[in-house]
Structure 1
Amino acid sequence: MIRHLVLFKLNEGVSRDEERVRASVRATMELKGRIPELEFWECAWNITDRPIAYDFAINSAVADTDALKRYIEHPAHQAAVARWREFATWVIADYEF
């Protein structure tokens, strides 16, 4: 199994309450039902307020590197990424477990 972690940081001046942000969160939450490779999926807003904290997190898992590649290339994933790209930056980590 491969764990796929993503941490999003909203750009300066961008609020969680903006419609484009809310729409991106909805699209992200819906990926679980749309991409068969996802064996585990959870995502949520960060609940702490610390200078080093990111704003939104995804914790997911896929079976193997082929499944990860299919997930990354899936049109629904690409559409969600395009939304976030408008107002946030992110970091990822993929590891086997």
Structure 2
Amino acid sequence: MIRHLVLFKLNEGVERDDPRVAEGEAAFRALGGQIEELAFWELGWNISERPIAYDFAINSAVEDADALKRYIEHPAHQAGVALWQEFATWVVADYPF
């Protein structure tokens, strides 16, 4: 199994109540039921107010590197990424477990 972690930081001046953020969150929330490669899918808003904290996180798992590639290339995932690119930056970690 491969754990796929993504941490998002909203761009300067962008707040959680921005309609673009709501659309992006909805797009990613739907992925768990749309992409069969996802063996595990959870996401949520950070509750920490520490200055180093990111704003939003996705914690997911796939069976192997091929499944991760299919997930990343899936049209629904790519559509969500396109939305988030307008208002956030992110970091990714993929590791076997």
Q: In the TM superposition, what is the alpha-carbon distance from 1:93 to its structure 2 partner?
A: 0.1
* Superposition TM-score, scaled by structure 2 size: 0.99
Residue 44 of structure 2: aligned partner = 44
Separation in structure 2 between the aligned mates of residue 73 and residue 18 of structure 1, nearest angstrom: 27
Secondary structure of 2:94's match? strand
CA root-mean-square deviation: 0.3
Separation in structure 2 between the aligned mates of residue 69 and residue 44 of structure 1, nearest angstrom: 23
Identity score, percent: 73
Separation in structure 1 between the aligned mates of residue 14 and residue 20 of structure 2, nearest angstrom: 10
* Superposition TM-score, scaled by structure 1 size: 0.99
For structure 2, list consecutive stretches of 5 or more residues without a partner in the other structure.
Answer: none
For structure 1, list consecutive stretches of 5 or more residues without a partner in the other structure.
Answer: none
Aligned pairs for 1:6-85 (under 5 A) are: 6-85=6-85
Runs of 4+ in 1 over 6 A off after TM superposition: none
